Amino acid sequence: MNFDLNEEQVMLRDLVLRFAADRYDPVKRLGYLRDPRGFSAEGWATIAETGLLAFPFAQELGGFGGGAVELITVMEALGRSVAVEPILPVIVMAGGLIERAGSPEQQAELLPAITAGKTFAALAYSERDARYGLEKVATMATEDSAGTVVSGTKQMVLGGPFADDFLVVARETTGAIGIFKIAADAPGVRRRDYRVVDGSVASDLDLSRAPAERLPDGQAALEAALDEARLGICGELMGLMSMIFDSTLDYLKTRNQFGQAIGSFQAVQHRMADHYSRLELSRGQVYRAAAQHGNRQDRGASVSGAKAYISQHALLLAEDAVQLHGGIGTTEELMIGQAFKRVLLLSSLLGDSDWELQRYVALTRH
């Protein structure tokens, strides 16, 4: 398989890297995270002006028409930069679901404003007792004289504190899974905001007969959007792994102990060689998943297999990098410590390694 990027994909990657090179170091990144929204409004506006927020959407919707490789390319560049801009929750997860499940009117209403950086949407998917699947979704959508209303609770809604609209996954009276758009300021919506492990922001939602607007397509569109988000997570983890590996390798060449660089010790070299192998195998896994154009079941299996592998080995690399740096690796003074926290979040987002592996097994039994 040819992993080389074409000219347009290289330009897309370089656009992200140039943006990050001008704006990011450990201190600046922490400053962005201290914003109540967990990112810089100025930085988001700058990205919007470049048109980058439109990269995954179809051209007829005003996007660039980017596919799986473009998604991986952008997310890997963001991961290498340890960027805080909420492209994953707003563009990939919420925007991707609107593109797949929304009506033409809903797409026209929401996507241009999102890609212009003017409004934000957030996917409300997780529930306390549902783990990562859809089988035990308890949030209910019902009809009354005023229209559709949704009741239930959602947890860890990434981007919830600054969202203008929530895309809520709920069970309809028929038992089917549906997607419902609920305004953040609608009656019946209560929100508890908090920080997650990497410093970004999320919310828990308590919905009590909140007025909602149904998106036409339901579970199939949701599963496709979630698989695309998993692929984006894999891309970002791959970028984080590359940054962590390169930074650790540089540190090992300069940190002296017992009169020589610690990178000269054979045991350390073996550990780094193992991590390099895992990094390259992760790259192969994610591009294999991107190249899967079979049915939805086969693609879902490939994506879950890739995420199970990459999540496990990204954690191993990040933990080892912190240990090799010593005490300073646990602090936020270095990007290593900040990147480690991002890996912790992404490795379990939408499914940890065990759950993804179980899903892979279930989807390949046919």
Domains of the chain by range and CATH? 7-115 (1.10.540.10), 121-216 (2.40.110.10), 220-363 (1.20.140.10)
Percentage with pLDDT > 90 across the chain: 70
| Residue 359 pLDDT greater than 80, yes or no | yes
Average of per-residue pLDDT across 291-318: 90
| Residue 4 pLDDT greater than 90, yes or no | no
- C-alpha dihedral sign at 23, 26, 29, 34: negative
pTM for the model stands at 0.93
Average of per-residue pLDDT across 31-38: 95
Buried b / exposed e over 346-358, threshold 16 CB at 10 Å, is bbbbbbbbebbbe
345, 197 Cβ separation under 8 angstroms: yes
> In 70-136, which ranges are E strands?
121-124
Average of per-residue pLDDT across 129-155: 90
| Residue 324 pLDDT greater than 60, yes or no | yes
What pLDDT was estimated at residue 88?
A: 96
- What burial class does residue 28 get, using C-beta atoms within 10 Å of its C-beta: 0-12 exposed, 13-18 middle, 19+ buried? middle
Mean pLDDT for all residues in the chain: 91
| Residue 60 pLDDT greater than 90, yes or no | no
Alpha carbon distance 352, 167 (integer Å): 22
365 — pLDDT class (breaks 50, 70, 90): confident
What's the number of CA atoms in the CB half-sphere (13 Å) around residue 287? 13
Count helices and strands in the chain by DSSP H and E runs: 11, 10
Name the phi and psi angles at 126, rounded to 5.
-80, 145
